[in-house]
Structure 1
Amino acid sequence: MTAPFDQLAYARRVLRAEAASLDVVAGRLDDGFNRVADVLLACRGRVAVIGVGKSADIGQKTVGTLNSTGTRAYTLDATRAVHGDLGSVHPDDVALLLSHSGESEELIRLIAPLKKLAAGVLAITGSAASTLARAVDAAVVYGPVIEACPLNLAPSSSTTVMLALGDALAFTLVEQRQFTADEFATFHPAGSLGRKLAVVSEWMRRGDELRVAPETDTVREVFAKVRHTGRRTGAIMLTDAAGRLSGLFTDSDLARLFENREDRLLDSPIAAVMTRAPVVIGPEVRVTVALDALKARKFSELPVVDADGRPIGMLDITDLIGLDSHAGETNSQSHLRLIGRKSA
């Protein structure tokens, strides 16, 4: 009887084969990469990425990476291009052609018209001797790779290499342009990534959703007078005579008064039982920094104040459920003022 096929072992072989190809290609990179990167960096228009078959799929991902990291790009279908879509190419654009063999007929016939229409024609290919590599202005040539496919036919290692080279070019441009996380966030307003890159002002509760009262009112008066609409928050922000945040009083604080049989304090100024100098955060701080503070100190709410210390919002942990903290966030302490007890 033959031994059962070990799927896990074979999958690991495929992954290691593709990883090995990346390592080999990394060692082969030469000045061709520099020339291609320089042309892309100098591009005043957009990058038209063109591929055929699996290379076209890689091209779509490369376009997405370029667009999200500050290099404007678009895909151009090779077949449609020769039937009129070349009209989308602007004289300031640069064309980037993707082909493992460098002999794709659809791409070869585009080189001459692209040279007339675009500011530059570049390529990523596996063959330095190919028609494509020899005809373009500059090319990243990664050389021969062994496909991970057991038949050595289906594009696998070659497409992984091409994909990684697209990333390498995009991220090289990120470094040279000093593209920032704030700029990246501008292009990612939606989804979990957008939420991680958002700033506090985009997520905080504001206006009628806030519970704000003067610190001179009694606890009873505060709870009798404070009204709000929308999502409920479990904390009341207390202000001094100048309107600056002076303390915080939570529903948990109220419960503790009853638990400790300190009902008499209900008719004392709330300043006597509030949490003084609570942790606060600014409106332009990243949500991930605020989330780190909430999780680390087991807070439920985080007041948001302006430059003068006046309350303008409240960040509630219930609004951020499902949003994971961004690993590696630094300097969060510079945005926070610490206190000795929890706010909830």
Structure 2
Amino acid sequence: MNITQQIIASAQKTINIEQAAIANLSSLIDEEFAQAVQAIYSSKGRVVITGIGKSAIIAQKIVATLNSTGTPALFMHAADAIHGDLGSILIDDIVICISKSGTTPEIKALVPLIKKTENTLIAITSNKTSFLGNEADYVLHAFVKEEACPNNLAPTTSTTAQLVIGDAVAVALLDLRGFTEKDFAKYHPGGALGKRLYLTVQDICATHQNPAVTPDASIKEVIVEISKKRLGVTAVVLNGVIQGIITDGDLRRMLAKNDSLEGLTAQQIMSENPKTVNHTAMAIAAKDILEEHNISQLLVVKDGNYAGVVHIHDLIKEGIA
């Protein structure tokens, strides 16, 4: 076996081991899991998640997922907890402790302190009969047969299982809360993800001047309007209502067909029945229309009247297209 084959075989073995462990987790989801989720859902406090080593890193990811899906959570490192950070746990908080073995010294020191405060304790552990498993009010069984590490030492399969259990808890809570796309957008206002969920066509076209000419406008007036508004397009409008559209491409085709521009009007070269989008539509919907029809601009309407232009470059700038 050459080095390339060795690498591929090693990677495939890791994935297969972890895949089997994750598949087995489904059979471990039971009434106790449901009761733990219900306890979190009914709680007036936050979820405080703690762990040591690699489990602490997984805890931070689960905290981030809970916070972004409507369940207030915070991370508390197990080692720091016994040196002052225990004060971050409030009376109504629920504590989730993550540990593969459930017997590490830090966990053994921390758990009795949590029990004294009478906070509900949920364990995510591979060993239900461990110290942590026996002391917890609820145990979420993240059992793994073996680590993907060939020495069965480095946390690999076990941390993957912990992460999957955390996701299962977060999504179950999301379902119970009826968490919607609008809720998700509220917690993710930044970046392309948030913009896909809250940015509207009106938000985009409001940044532009609205290029428009009347049907009887001369070709010179059309060219000046398109050049002035810098969107490569103008609407042809009569009494606020869209009659057609003229793009840079329409002008080029017009020049190729006509030796003289004398007497030509906007109405004679415009494209009728242009694609439009309502001002309240989501920007992502505008992107879909542009892609479907392979065009660069959409005219925006509000209450049946012309309200502006949305350009594919606007969507690219916002990270949507």
TM-score, structure 2 as length reference: 0.89
Aligned-residue offset at 1:42: 1.6
Structure 1: gaps of 5 or more residues: 326-344
- In structure 2, C-alpha distance between the alignment counterparts of 1:43 and 1:263, rounded to whole Å: 77
Q: In the superposition, relative to structure 1, how do residues 93 and 284 fare at CA in structure 2: closer, same or farther (>3 Å)? A: farther
Aligned-residue offset at 1:120: 2.2
Aligned-residue offset at 1:222: 3.6
Q: In the superposition, relative to structure 1, how do residues 17 and 287 fare at CA in structure 2: closer, same or farther (>3 Å)? A: same
Conserved 8 A contact 2:276-2:299:
yes
Question: The residue matched to 1:152 in structure 2 has which SS?
Answer: coil
Question: The residue matched to 2:113 in structure 1 has which SS?
Answer: helix
1:296 aligned partner, one-letter code: E
What's the counterpart of residue 41 of structure 2? 41
What's the counterpart of residue 317 of structure 1? 312
Question: The residue matched to 1:76 in structure 2 has which SS?
Answer: strand
- In structure 2, C-alpha distance between the alignment counterparts of 1:276 and 1:45, rounded to whole Å: 59
Match of 1:291 among 277, 287, 294: 287
- In structure 2, C-alpha distance between the alignment counterparts of 1:142 and 1:225, rounded to whole Å: 65
What's the counterpart of residue 238 of structure 1? 236
Aligned-residue offset at 1:313: 3.6
Deviates more, 1:104-113 or 1:120-129: 104-113
Question: The residue matched to 1:102 in structure 2 has which SS?
Answer: coil
What's the counterpart of residue 304 of structure 1? 300
Q: In the superposition, relative to structure 1, how do residues 211 and 7 fare at CA in structure 2: closer, same or farther (>3 Å)? A: same
Q: How is 1:88-107 mapped onto 2 (pairs within 5 angstroms)?
A: 88-107=88-107
Q: In the superposition, relative to structure 1, how do residues 9 and 203 fare at CA in structure 2: closer, same or farther (>3 Å)? A: farther
Aligned-residue offset at 1:287: 2.9
Q: In the superposition, relative to structure 1, how do residues 225 and 130 fare at CA in structure 2: closer, same or farther (>3 Å)? A: closer
Aligned-residue offset at 1:94: 1.5
Is 1:256 matched with 2:253?
yes
- In structure 2, C-alpha distance between the alignment counterparts of 1:76 and 1:59, rounded to whole Å: 9
- In structure 2, C-alpha distance between the alignment counterparts of 1:156 and 1:268, rounded to whole Å: 72
Conserved 8 A contact 2:50-2:56:
yes
What's the counterpart of residue 51 of structure 1? 51
Question: The residue matched to 2:205 in structure 1 has which SS?
Answer: coil
Listed one character per residue, the Cα deviations across residues 57-105 of structure 1 (whole Å, up to 9, x for unaligned) are 1011111111121212111122222222222222232211111111122
Structure 2: gaps of 5 or more residues: none
Conserved 8 A contact 1:213-1:226:
no
- How large is the RMSD of aligned CA atoms in angstroms? 2.5
Question: The residue matched to 2:123 in structure 1 has which SS?
Answer: strand
Listed one character per residue, the Cα deviations across residues 22-67 of structure 1 (whole Å, up to 9, x for unaligned) are 1112222222211111112123232111111000010111111111
Figure out how many residues of one structure are paired with residues of the other and give that number: 318
Question: The residue matched to 2:35 in structure 1 has which SS?
Answer: helix
Conserved 8 A contact 1:92-1:118:
no
- In structure 1, C-alpha distance between the alignment counterparts of 2:290 and 2:190, rounded to whole Å: 23
Aligned-residue offset at 1:248: 1.6
Q: In the superposition, relative to structure 1, how do residues 95 and 169 fare at CA in structure 2: closer, same or farther (>3 Å)? A: same
Conserved 8 A contact 1:302-1:314:
yes
TM-score, structure 1 as length reference: 0.83
Aligned-residue offset at 1:198: 4.3
1:166 aligned partner, one-letter code: G
- In structure 2, C-alpha distance between the alignment counterparts of 1:201 and 1:48, rounded to whole Å: 40
- In structure 1, C-alpha distance between the alignment counterparts of 2:279 and 2:133, rounded to whole Å: 51
Aligned-residue offset at 1:149: 0.7
Q: How is 1:206-221 mapped onto 2 (pairs within 5 angstroms)?
A: 206-221=206-221
1:298 aligned partner, one-letter code: N
2:200 aligned partner, one-letter code: V
Conserved 8 A contact 1:90-1:118:
no
Question: The residue matched to 1:26 in structure 2 has which SS?
Answer: helix
- In structure 1, C-alpha distance between the alignment counterparts of 2:95 and 2:132, rounded to whole Å: 12
Q: How is 1:157-306 mapped onto 2 (pairs within 5 angstroms)?
A: 157-201=157-201, 204-224=204-224, 228=228, 232-241=230-239, 243-261=240-258, 263-264=260-261, 267-306=263-302
Aligned-residue offset at 1:278: 1.8
Question: The residue matched to 1:189 in structure 2 has which SS?
Answer: coil
Conserved 8 A contact 1:199-1:283:
no
Conserved 8 A contact 2:211-2:308:
no
